[in-house]
Amino acid sequence: MGIQSPTASISRYRVEGNLEKPMIETVRRGLKSNTIEDIDKDSVETSVGWTSFHQPYQPNFEGPSFIFGTFFVFSLRIDKKTLPPKLLHKHFMLAGAKRLADTGQRYLSRSEKQVLKEQVASRLMQRMPATPHVHELIWNPEGAALSFFTSLKAANEELETLFVRSFGVSLIRLFPYTTAEFSASLTDSERDILQSLKPTDFTKSF
């Protein structure tokens, strides 16, 4: 559901704050220091970071790869491993039986079970490849505007957190209230009315 897909979803942001100059180097530095880390051979459950628009599985921010005209274009990638509960249960049961056979114990205590379960989960995680989720974005630094090509809540939250950490400027979601505040050049009296605005009742005379 991104730029190259037949259909897209977009959530919009205003970029708040001034990027340190030179802008391109600030953005490159932020991208490189927060590039997605591969967790396929790791027991880590989730990895979040930036990746290249044109090579989402081989991120590279050298050269002008993220500069398209006056825009910055790159992607947020979220890699996630989800352990199916039944798979964990199977391997936990097998590991428990082996532990009893090896030690001659008749049963495992609650804490031994807990530790064993964590070990089994960690071992399985290490062998499991992560599923990547790539969400593209177009950032117009001149207009302080950013279009993020998803409306998934979790991805939006990750974007907002990583963006400020990477570039030192923050993102404000543009929804009805913030669009009115930032884009409509409201007068003081209009702003006062907005602050106390109540829903319109269209049913009164029906």
The phi-psi region of residue 55 (left if phi > 0; otherwise alpha if psi is between -120 and 50; otherwise beta) is: beta
H-run or E-run covering 48: strand 46-52
CA 138, 141, 142, 143 dihedral sign is positive
- Tokens describing residue 9: 């979803």
Q: Is 149 exposed, middle or buried (0-12, 13-18, 19+ CB in 10 A)?
A: buried
In the complex, the smallest distance separating the C-beta of residue 72 from other proteins, rounded to whole angstroms, is 11
> With binding defined as CB under 8 A, does residue 12 bind other proteins?
yes
Q: What is the DSSP letter of 38?
A: P
Interface pick for other proteins out of 6, 63, 85, 104 (rule CB under 8 A): 6
> With binding defined as CB under 8 A, does residue 154 bind other proteins?
no
> With binding defined as CB under 8 A, does residue 193 bind other proteins?
yes
Interface pick for other proteins out of 3, 87, 115, 154 (rule CB under 8 A): 3
Contact 29, 72 (CB under 8 A): no
Q: How far is CA 131 from CA 32, 84, 127, 137, in A?
A: 22, 13, 13, 20
Strand partners, 139: 72, 146
> With binding defined as CB under 8 A, does residue 183 bind other proteins?
yes
In the complex, the smallest distance separating the C-beta of residue 90 from other proteins, rounded to whole angstroms, is 39
Which x/- pattern over 57-86 shows residues binding other proteins (rule: CB under 8 A)? -----------xx-x-x-------------
Nearer to other proteins, 116 or 138 (CB): 138
In the complex, the smallest distance separating the C-beta of residue 22 from other proteins, rounded to whole angstroms, is 21
In the complex, the smallest distance separating the C-beta of residue 12 from other proteins, rounded to whole angstroms, is 7
Interface pick for other proteins out of 58, 109, 111, 205 (rule CB under 8 A): 205
Return d(Cα 206, Cα 184) in angstroms, integer.
33
Which residues make up the interface to other proteins (CB under 8 A)?
Answer: 3-4, 6-12, 53-54, 68-69, 71, 73, 138, 147, 151, 172-181, 183-184, 186, 190, 193-195, 197, 199-206
